[in-house]
């Protein structure tokens, strides 16, 4: 049966780089992002690897959209990987927490925290049967307490704790969960956050060796770990 | 550290083109340059125990060499695919070359299908920052391909294809190194017996080497990209090394791979039992915390290994040692002579 990956935020940046790498390894893909044109263009490029790509544009915070994603994954084959890559920064320029509009803050948490947890809930039967792996993308902002990064950072900090908890809760079902901080990169998100000043940052391809390594490991050996994709070293539980 | 400080002149003829056995001497009869803060001495590897003392800890790499060089067929015709590192699930980092004498780059692209012995494979992506290296996804296990049809990786300076045994050290137990962890090649049982008599303690770890490191091209050598290698430092080895460090006894690495693995396992206070992939780059800016000595071969100009040697013993001692080695016509490369560096 075909091996399937569901990856959110896959039209550009890190999500697209990872999707291309997975396509090159022969996985079929279900991809999503909000902007339909960009998503379809990404899907076209990914199909050149000779794999099947289902591209569904929409908002991961929308339950109906998530249902469609899960159904699409089920239809394609065996869901082995869920990659929660979609996330938002909130208003630009980024406000301090004391001035953060609360509706916007709720929206950041909806997309960055609730949606990944919801997708784990909704794909759980599929992940249980494949002994699959959930990859939640985080950031050093989850730990850095940088000024004006409080909305995004606290949502990612919460996601990191949720990942650890899920890893513990799902161990008996053979489902693994890891957190990955990809490090500084030249992406659209970085461009917004740093107001264009991103030229000295590496392209997302710099993380490929890490993905190659992570996907090659026994999943239970990495579950519950937090990895930095650009660090000098990646260790397994021993 | 600047690139120019890793430059020296090695006359082309000072390289071993065949194993010492083929030159009529035993593995442990290669020459041994001994460098200490007091100066440099010339000996043979068999004499190693004379330069060590009771309580010294020698840490060796138990990785075995694999027949990592495969014939491949692709849109460019026949070429050589040298496997470097297994990332798991039949995904390998590789170096496609024309043959032993001619490196790439080959005109290949992501998505290209290639034929290997017993399986098809697909070119996935180049390694970021190291365009000679490519990730390749095979349909079936390449251990089978290597078993039937692989040969040890060879470069042009070695005259002929040698059997895999020529590329194994006495410590080889865990297959995984694309190239021989060659520092331990001169060890023989008679040397081990003499070391035991002397009271030297042996401990082991595993680090699987990838294909030869590329020459440093960056002006600041710290900018150079190194790719990661699998390593494992077991509990027992961590304990033995930590005890020696606490008791102020010498820890001596057999090979730059051992330095890399021990430094990877160093947490700022002690060596932890650990395993995974590490791309730690040991250079003078980073320093060395776990070893006081190193047994190694002679390294080519402008390689990252030389930066590690300088990190251990200082640029001056290494420069003098290499001047001495050139003057005394030591032989470079994996079948060549040996170098013991002691910092105390």
Q: What angle do CA A44, A46, A50 make, to 5 degrees?
A: 100
Lowest mean pLDDT among A98-112, B98-112, B176-190, B304-318: B98-112
pLDDT at A62: 98
What are the pLDDT digits (tens) for A165-196? 999 999 999 999 999 999 999 888 888 888 88
DSSP at B111: T
Q: Please, are residues B82 and B194 in contact by the beta-carbon 8 Å criterion?
A: no
Residue A35 lies in a domain: yes
User: B6-43: per-residue pLDDT in tens?
Assistant: 888 898 899 999 999 999 999 999 999 999 999 999 99
Please compute, for residue A40, the number of CA atoms within 13 A of its CA located in the half-sphere on the CB side.
3
Query: Mean of the pLDDT values across residues B126-130?
Result: 93
CB B229 within 8 A of CB B280: no
What value does the mean pLDDT take over residues B71-99?
A: 96
CATH T-level topology, domain B69-150 = Thrombin, subunit H (2.40.10)
| pLDDT digit string, tens, across residues A25-75 | 999 999 999 999 999 999 999 999 999 999 999 999 999 999 999 999 999
- Inter-chain touch A238–B275, beta carbons under 8 Å: yes
Q: Which domain holds residue A165?
A: 3-228
Asked if residue A236 belongs to a domain, the reply is no
Residue A126 falls inside a structural domain = yes
CATH code of residue A59: 3.40.50.720
CA distance readout (Å), A207 to A186, B144, B208, B227? 12, 29, 21, 12
- ipTM for the predicted complex comes to 0.89
Q: What is the mean pLDDT of the segment spanning B168-174?
A: 98
Of B66, B67, B132, B137, nearest in space to B95 by CA: B132
Whether A12 is catalytic: no
CATH architecture of B3-65+165-342: 3-Layer(aba) Sandwich (3.40)
For chain B, what percent of residues have pLDDT higher than 70?
100
Mean pLDDT value of segment A206-217: 96
Nearest to A238 by CA among B15, B231, B123: B231
Are A54 and A42 within 8 A, CB to CB?
no
Pairing status of strand B338-342 against strand B274-278: unpaired
* Residue B68 three-state SS: coil
Q: Does residue B214 carry a pLDDT above 80?
A: no
The answer to whether residue B216 scores a pLDDT higher than 90 is no
Q: Determine the Cα–Cα distance for residues B33 and B35; give it in Å rounded to an integer.
A: 6
Is residue A235 less than 8 Å (CB to CB) from chain B? yes
Per-residue pLDDT at B104: 81
Mean pLDDT score, B311-326: 96
> How many Cα atoms occupy the beta-carbon half-sphere of B210 within 13 Å?
24
B69-150 shares the fold of B3-65+165-342: no
A237: in domain: no
Domain segments of chain B as ranges: 3-65+165-342, 69-150
Query: Could you tell me which residues come within 8 angstroms of residue B145 by beta carbon, excluding any fewer than 6 positions away?
Result: B70, B116, B117, B118, B119, B138
Q: Do B137 and A217 touch (CB under 8 A)?
A: no
Q: What is the pLDDT of residue B224?
A: 87
Cα distance between residue A168 and residue B107, in whole Å: 47
Taking CA atoms, what residue in B is nearest to A230? B279
Average pLDDT for A7-16: 96
Please state the pTM of the whole predicted model.
Answer: 0.93
Structure confidence by residue, pLDDT tens digits, B269-279: 999 999 999 99
pLDDT above 80: residue A237? no
- Calculate how close chain B gets to A147, using CA atoms only, in Å: 30
Residue A235 lies in a domain: no
- pLDDT value for A238: 62
DSSP letter at A113 equals: I
**Summary mean pLDDT of chain A:** 96
Q: Cα–Cα–Cα angle for B122, B128, B129, nearest 5°?
A: 130
Which member of A48, A213, A216 has the closest CB to residue B111? A48
How many domains does one find in chain A?
A: 1
Alpha-carbon span A196 to B322, nearest angstrom: 48
């Amino acid at each position: 049966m075909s091996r399937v990956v569901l990856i959110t935020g896959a039209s550009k940046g890190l999500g697209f780089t990872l999707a291309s790498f997975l396509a090159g390894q022969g996985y079929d893909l279900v991809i999503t992002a909000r902007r339909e044109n960009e998503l379809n263009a990404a899907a076209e490029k990914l199909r050149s690897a000779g794999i099947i790509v289902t591209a569904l544009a929409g908002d991961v915070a929308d339950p109906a959209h998530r249902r469609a994603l899960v159904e699409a994954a089920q239809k394609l084959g065996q869901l082995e990987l869920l990659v929660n890559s979609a996330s938002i920064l909130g208003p630009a320029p980024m406000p301090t927490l004391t001035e953060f509009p609360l509706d916007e803050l709720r929206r950041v948490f909806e997309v960055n925290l609730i949606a990944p947890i919801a997708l784990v809930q909704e794909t759980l039967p599929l992940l249980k049967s494949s002994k699959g792996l959930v990859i939640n993308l985080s950031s050093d902002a989850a730990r850095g307490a940088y000024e004006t990064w409080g909305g995004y950072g606290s949502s990612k900090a919460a996601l990191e704790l949720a990942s650890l908890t899920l890893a513990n809760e799902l161990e008996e079902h053979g489902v693994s969960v890891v957190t990955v901080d990809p490090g500084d990169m030249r992406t659209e998100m970085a461009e917004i956050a740093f107001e264009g000043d991103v030229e000295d940052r590496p392209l997302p391809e710099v993380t490929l060796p890490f993905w190659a390594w992570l996907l090659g490991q026994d999943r239970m050996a990495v579950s519950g770990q937090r990895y930095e994709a650009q660090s000098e070293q990646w260790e397994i539980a021993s | 550290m600047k690139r120019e400080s890793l430059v020296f002149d090695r006359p082309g003829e000072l390289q071993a083109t065949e194993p010492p056995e083929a030159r009529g001497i035993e593995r442990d009869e290669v020459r041994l340059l001994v460098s200490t803060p007091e100066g440099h001495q010339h000996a043979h590897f068999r004499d190693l125990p004379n330069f060590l003392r009771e309580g010294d800890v020698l840490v060796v790499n138990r990785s075995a060499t694999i027949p990592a060089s495969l014939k491949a067929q692709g849109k460019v015709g026949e070429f050589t695919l040298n496997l470097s590192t297994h990332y798991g699930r039949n995904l390998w980092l590789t170096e496609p070359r024309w043959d032993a004498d001619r490196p790439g780059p080959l005109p290949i692209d992501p998505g290209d299908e290639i034929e290997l012995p017993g399986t098809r494979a697909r070119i996935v992506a180049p390694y970021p920052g190291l365009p000679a290296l490519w990730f390749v996804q095979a349909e079936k296990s390449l251990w089978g391909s290597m078993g039937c049809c692989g040969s040890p990786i060879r470069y042009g300076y070695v005259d002929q294809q040698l059997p895999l045994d020529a590329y194994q050290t006495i410590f080889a137990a865990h297959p995984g190194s694309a190239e021989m962890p060659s520092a331990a090649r001169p060890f023989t049982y008679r040397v081990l017996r003499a070391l035991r008599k002397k009271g030297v303690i042996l401990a082991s770890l595993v680090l699987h080497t990838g294909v030869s490191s590329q020459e440093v091209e960056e002006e600041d050598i710290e900018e150079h990209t190194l790719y990661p290698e699998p390593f494992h430092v077991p509990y027992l080895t961590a304990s033995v090394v930590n005890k020696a460090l606490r008791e102020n006894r010498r820890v001596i690495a057999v090979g730059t791979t051992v330095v890399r693995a021990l430094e990877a396992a160093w947490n700022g206070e002690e060596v932890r039992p650990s395993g995974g992939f590490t791309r730690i780059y040991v250079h003078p800016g980073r320093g060395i915390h776990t070893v006081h000595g190193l047994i190694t071969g002679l390294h080519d100009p402008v390689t990252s290994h030389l930066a590690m040697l300088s990190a251990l013993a200082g640029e001056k001692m290494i420069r003098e040692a290499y001047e001495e080695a050139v003057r005394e016509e030591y032989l470079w490369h994996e079948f060549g002579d040996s170098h013991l560096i002691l910092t105390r």
